[in-house]
Amino acid sequence: MTYPVEHQQLAGWAKFPVIAADVATPASIEEARDYVMRQERLIARGNGKSYGDAALAPHVLSTLALRHIRHFDASSGVVDCEAGVLLSDILRVAVPQGWFFYVTPGIKHITVGGAIASDVHGKNHPTHGCFSNYLISFELMTAEGQVVHCSKEENADLFWQTCGGMGWTGLILSAKFQLRRISSTQMLQHTVWSANWDELFAALSGNREYEYAAAWVDGLAAGSNFGRGAVFFANHAEGSSKEPLVFHEKKPGNVPFTPPIGLINRWSTYIHNKMYLRKKPPGDYPTDLDSYFYPLDGIRNWNRMYGPRGFVQYQFCMPEHTAYDGIARIFQAIQRSPDAPFLTVLKRHGERPAEARYSFPIKGYSLALDFPRTRSMVSLVRTLDDIVWAAEGKIYLTKDACSDPKMGRIPLEDFKESKWWSDLRERLAMLP
C-alpha cells in the first residue's frame, strides 16, 4: 500500500511540547487498517488544534485525507461524513440550507473525529451539552483492525468511552450527527461589563434568556478590581424564509512567521486588557455566525505570536459549590506568580449525562487561560492543579501539556511505553 508516511517534528496548537513522530496519512479504510496493524503506540490526529500533547505519539495516523461528506440530508439535517472532515467544510454546505451545529467549539477548523474524541462543548453547554448529545453513531477501528459500529444503542460502552476518550479507544473513521435549524445567519449579542468578581459571577449565572454565554476576565486586575471583565451573551436571530442564508467567512488576517521572541508578555497583556473592553462596550449588537462563534479564526497562525517557545493553555472545570471561591484562588495564585495569562475565558456548564463520563464539562464553571511558556510555567500549572484538585474540579485533557499525572494526563514518556489502544482504554477508567 502506498500512502504517505513522513517523519516530522510535531506539536499541538500551542507548539509545546514538540516531538519527533512518523505521521501516516491514509486515504481509505484499507490503508488506515494497514497502518494500524503495523504500529504499536499509535494515536489518531485530526487537524492538530488540541493545544498540548493530546495528538502526539511516536506514530501518528492523520485523518486529513479522510475528508468526504458522504451524505447531507437537507430535509432532516443529518450529516454523514468521514472523520477528517472539518467543521468549516460542513458549515459551507449546511448553513446555506438552513442548518447549523447544536454544539460548536470556538474554532471551526477542527475535524469531526477531533470533535468526538474531545467531546467538544460550546457557549451553550447548560442548555445543549456536548457534541455527543447530537451524535447519532460512528464507525471505530479497533487495535485489531476491526470496524465497529457504535451508537447509544449498539456497542454503547465503546460509544461513551470514545466521546471525550481522547483517541484512546481507537480510530474514528466516520460519523453521523444531527444539525439544528436556523432561519437567519445573524446573532443578537448582548454585552454586560462587570467591575468585580461578584458582578461577573452574577451576570454569567443569570441572564438565562440567552442561549449562549462566555465571559472575558482581565487576569491582571487584582484587589477590588478583581473580576473586571465582560460577559458576551447571544441568541440566534429569527429570519424570514425569503432571506438567503450565506455563511459569511471573514477573510482572516495572518501572522506570517514566528518572531524570534514572543510578542506576548505581561506588558503587552496589560495594554491588550486596557484596550479590549473599549472595543466591546455594553449593549445589544447584531453580529454574524462567524464573528460570534469563531473570533479567533479571524487571525490565521495567531499561535506564532507567542514565539518559538510556544504557550500553554490551562482549562479546568469546578463544580458549582466550589467554583466561586476556587476560581478566585486560581487568580490569586496566578497574581502571586511571575506569569500572566493573555486570554481568559469563563463559561458556565450544565448537568453532564451519566453516560458521558469522559466529557470535560461538569455542572459548574470552567476557566481557560493562555500563558506564554516561561521557565516557571510548569511549576505554576502544578500549583493550579492542586487548587483544582482540592476544589473537586478537573482539567481538560485536550488543552493540557504539563499537568500532574494525578489530573488524568498520560505523560508522553508513559505513552511511549504504553502498548496499545487496549492499554489506553483501561487507563480511561482511572480518570478522575
Among 21, 32, 108, 111, binds ligand FAD (CB under 6 A): 111
What is the rounded distance in angstroms from the CA atom of residue 349 to the CA atom of residue 214? 10
**CB nearer ligand FAD, residue 163 or residue 221:** 163
Site residues for ligand FAD, 304-363, by CB under 6 A, read: none
Q: Are 112 and 105 in contact (CB under 8 A)?
A: no
Site residues for ligand FAD, 216-275, by CB under 6 A, read: none
Residue 369 makes contact with ligand FAD by CB under 6 A? no
Among 11, 32, 85, 120, binds ligand FAD (CB under 6 A): 120
Among 167, 262, 372, 393, binds ligand FAD (CB under 6 A): 167
b/e map 49-72, b = 16+ CB within 10 Å = bbbbbbbbbbbbbbbbbbbebeeb
Among 44, 200, 343, 391, binds ligand FAD (CB under 6 A): 44
Residue spans of alpha helices (H) in 78-150? 87-94, 112-117, 125-128
Residue with cell 493530546: 54
In angstroms, give the least distance from the CB of 6 to ligand FAD. Answer: 16
Q: Are 213 and 230 in contact (CB under 8 A)?
A: no
What is the rounded distance in angstroms from the CA atom of residue 118 to the CA atom of residue 360? 8
Site string for ligand FAD, 75-94 (x = CB under 6 A): --------x-----------
Among 156, 296, 390, 430, binds ligand FAD (CB under 6 A): 296
| Choices 73-81, 115-123, 153-161, 402-410 (CB under 6 A): range interacting with ligand FAD | 115-123
| Choices 92-100, 118-126, 370-378, 386-394 (CB under 6 A): range interacting with ligand FAD | 118-126
Decide: helix, strand or coil at residue 366. strand
In angstroms, give the least distance from the CB of 326 to ligand FAD. Answer: 20
Tell me the Cα Rg of the chain. Answer: 21
In angstroms, give the least distance from the CB of 164 to ligand FAD. Answer: 9
**CB nearer ligand FAD, residue 144 or residue 238:** 144
Reference 141, options 85, 82, 90; nearest CA is 82
Among 26, 46, 52, 341, binds ligand FAD (CB under 6 A): 46
What is the rounded distance in angstroms from the CA atom of residue 73 to the CA atom of residue 207? 35
What is the rounded distance in angstroms from the CA atom of residue 118 to the CA atom of residue 263? 30
Residue 160 makes contact with ligand FAD by CB under 6 A? no
Among 15, 35, 48, 218, binds ligand FAD (CB under 6 A): 48
b/e map 364-381, b = 16+ CB within 10 Å = bbbbbbbbbbbeebeebb
> What is the distance of C-alpha 296 from the center of its chain?
12
Task: Tell me which residues touch ligand FAD (CB under 6 A).
Answer: 13, 43-50, 54-55, 63, 83, 105-107, 110-111, 113-114, 117-118, 120-122, 166-167, 171-172, 296, 398
